[in-house]
Each structure stands twice: as C-alpha cells, then as structure tokens.
Amino acid sequence: MNHRRHAHGFSLIELLIASAIAIALISAAISVGLQLQRRGVLEERTMETQNAARAARDLFAFGVQRAGAGAGSSPLAIGNTPASRPDLRYPVWVTTQPDFATDPSFALPSGPYQDLRSDVLRIWETDPGNMLRLVACQSGTFAWTGNRLCTQTRPPEGLKNLLVAVVAPHGAGGKRPIACVGMLGSTFDQTINPPLDSEYSVDFSPGVPGLPALASTHECGAPPVASGLDGGGGVPLQLWDAPDLYVMPITARDFRVNWKGGAPALEMDSDGFIPDAGFAVVSRDIERLQVFLGVVPTDQSDAGVLLFPDAVTGRPALDTCTFSSCSPFITWDAGTVVSADEGPDTPRDKLMQRVRLVELRITARSARLDRLADLATDGGLDDDGNIQDGYKRRHSVIRLSPRNFGYAGQ
C-alpha cells in the first residue's frame, strides 16, 4: 500500500517575512539599548559635574570661613603700592580676571572659550593655634623695639623664618583694627634672666619680602616711638597701644583656573608666596571661577547686601575701585574718606571694611565629552547658555559668610 508523503515547513516568502520581523525587533532592541546606555552615560557625567562642583564648594568653604581667623576683617599692611601709599590687602581678596602675563605656566582661555576668563581668589589665613601674646619691651613703651617683638611666652622653634601678622582684634582706643605683616627671623630670645631681662623676644622685619617696603612713617613700617605716634610721621597709632596684641603665622592661599594646554584646571597655591612653591592642580573639572563680594552698608541685618561687581547697577569689582567709581556706593557714615584710588580710608578701603559675604559662581564640566551630541562648529550656545562642544556643565552659586568678620571692622 502506497502512502503519499506530505511536505512540511515554511515557504521562502514566510522565511523572508519572519526574518524581516526579527531584524526589525532586534534593531529596535539594539536602538533602545543604545539609547539607555547613552542616557546612563549622560547621567553619569551629570553626576560627575555635580560631584566636582560639590568638591570645589567644600574646598572654598573651608578657606573662606576661616579667612581672617584671629584678625577679623582687619586690613593687612603688606608693603607700599607703586603710588607710595600703604598696600592694604584683606582676609578675602579678589583679583578680577588677571592674565599672569609674566607666568609662562599660565594661559587664558581662547577660541570659543575666550569669554570664560576667571577671577583669582586669595584667602589670607592666620594660625591662632600658634599665636604669641606680645608685651611691652622692658627697654621701651611698646612691644616692638629695634628689630624685635617682645612676647609674653617662650617662642617655639617652629615659628622661625615664617611670615606672620601682628594683630589687635579690638584696635586701640576705639580705632579701626589693622594688622602688620612681616617676617620672623631665625634669632629668638627663648630665656628670661631677671631682673634685667623680663621678656622673651623674636626678631621681626616688617613687610613681605619682594614687595616695596612701607615708609617708616607708617606704624607697620617702623617701630613705634614713646610719644604714642608711629616712627616720626605724626600718625596716631591704631595698633601698638592696643590692650591685646598678638603675633601669629599667616599664609595666603590662592585659587585660579589655568587653561594651559587648552583644557581648564583649578589650581591652588597653598603656601602663598613665602616660600613660593607655585600652583598645583586640585581639579580638572572646574572651567570657570567668578567671585563677588557682598558689602553690608550698616550693622542692620535687614539693610541688604551690595554685590561687587554688578553690571546692572554699575558697581565695579572692588579691586578695580577708583575714588570716582566707588565713592557713590558709600551710603553710610564712614567718617573721613580720602580722595585717592587706593590706600587707607579710600572708597575701596571703606567698602572692603564692610564685606560680609563671598559669592562664588562655579562652572564645572565633565571630564569626557559626548561625541554623539549636537556640536556647534561656530561656538553656538544651547538653551542653558553653554557652548555646544559635547561637554556636560553644571553651574553652582555658593554664598559664604566669613565667620571671623563679625567682631571686627568698622
């Protein structure tokens, strides 16, 4: 008996249709997977920029909040200006968009990034943990005589050859406090042999090495004289007849954004310039640093804060203040105002006395770029105002109050 064999299977058309459907499904799955993967990468880079901004915030916050420890908002007399006026610096000092023209290791942003120039933030920080109280020298009326400062306690070896500040947190006779910056030497008197020797002492040279020296007529430029005036100039003392007088180490910590090599790097000089170890990279994720100083016109908490600079109101950066550009913004009774661009009692000095807020605007960008993003060859901007170059950016605004400024200043 013959049985007819029946053919089983798919026709060629059915196989082609099934293959096409399978390819479409696989392609869709791959496309979705790639999209999810790219989204994950973008989320990762967003987190990178957030973490970089947070790390920068913590770094700056530590320094700004400690600025002026032991000295409050007292100005620091470090030398003379080219105009032969006292060069005053402050615990928080900003240099607006410098070019470091003499530093071959530094470069400004260029090309599509040329508008991203940064400010330099300098934080002066004293070390109250190693301060010495000064006393009147046995041979004179004040704590500074000749080339030495007289101290109440035995000076330790660790203070030799350090940059220091002589401070009086409460000033003298209600006068505004001031701090004299200078160098300790290597000769210390670490013994007392009464009755002829009743104090310890350290050798002291006023001013910062390498900067123009203060005139001897300034109380930070030469030892005070017994008449109650400074070294012969007839200027009443603000410092040396104060009831509490201290000497303590001081350092200047600088922050800048360097574009050497075409990519940004946040750099820090941790020891200022004594000795000058130079800048070191602390982050390659910070693209821009802008610093604004907030001035409180009066002691009233509801008086508001004036930010410098501010393009809308015409307020310039405080480091660029001239008498004409900044005197209109002194709206409180500031006493005598000197009609000069820099130095004691000028509009810049009066405004710096009232700084109580530091606002930092930081731009962090991802370390890696997104090569699949829409790139603009002409330096175009996206909806957030960022350059379309494939990098993810995060903008942060940080407001800090130097905690040591509340008890000093005018």
Matching residue, tokens 């030398």: 79
The helix (H) or strand (E) run that includes residue 32 is: helix 12-66
Tokens linked to 22:
């399978």
Tell whether 86 is covered by a domain. no
138 by Cβ neighbours in 10 Å (0-12 / 13-18 / 19+) ranks as: middle
Q: What are the residue ranges in the chain where pLDDT is below 50?
A: 228, 230-231, 233, 407-410
Give tens-digit pLDDT for 173-230.
Answer: 666 778 899 999 999 999 988 777 888 999 999 998 888 888 888 888 888 875 545 4
Q: What confidence score (pLDDT) does residue 21 get?
A: 83
Tell whether 338 is covered by a domain. yes
* Residue length of the chain: 410
Distance CA 323, CA 80 (A): 18
Q: What confidence score (pLDDT) does residue 3 get?
A: 54
Give tens-digit pLDDT for 131-158.
Answer: 899 998 887 778 998 899 999 999 999 9
Tell whether 364 is covered by a domain. yes
Tell whether 308 is covered by a domain. yes
Tell whether 66 is covered by a domain. yes
What is residue 52's DSSP assignment?
Answer: H
Note down the domain range covering 66: 46-73+107-120+253-400
Tell whether 55 is covered by a domain. yes
Structurally, how many domains does the chain consist of?
Answer: 1
Tell whether 140 is covered by a domain. no
Please give the model's pTM, rounded to 2 decimal places: 0.81
Tell whether 327 is covered by a domain. yes
For the beta carbon of residue 17, count every other beta carbon within 10 angstroms: 12
Strands (E), 135-237: 144-145, 148-151, 163-167, 179-189, 200-206
Tokens linked to 139:
């041979």
Angle (CA) 409-361-96 rounded to 5° is: 65
Buried b / exposed e over 184-198, threshold 16 CB at 10 Å, is beeebbeeeeeeeee
In DSSP terms, 259 is beta-bridged to none
